[in-house]
Amino acid sequence: MNIKDTSETWETLSSRRPFQGAKTAVDSDEVRMPDGSTARRDYQVHPGSVCVLALDEDGRVLVLSQYRHPVRRRLWELPAGLLDVPGENPLLGAQRELYEEAHAKAEDWRVLVDFYASPGGSDEAIRVFLARGVSEADGERYSESGSEEADMEVTWVPLAELVRGVLAGELGNPGLVTGVLALSAALAGEGGVDALRPALAPWPARPYEA
Cite the active site residues. Answer: 149
Which positions ≥6 away from 89 have C-beta within 8 Å? 200, 208, 209, 210
If we measure between CA atoms, which residue out of 61, 84, 90, 74 comes closest to residue 183?
61
CB 21 within 8 A of CB 179: no
Alpha helices of the chain — where are they, by DSSP H? 90-102, 159-167, 174-188
Q: Residue 89: how many CB atoms within 10 A of its CB?
A: 17
* Beta-carbon count within 10 A of 182 CB: 18
- CA pseudo-torsion sign 49, 167, 101, 23: positive
Helices (H), 50-148: 90-102
Q: Check residue 142 and report its DSSP letter.
A: P
- Using DSSP, state whether 184 is helix, strand or coil: helix
Do residues 130 and 109 make contact, with C-beta atoms less than 8 angstroms apart?
yes
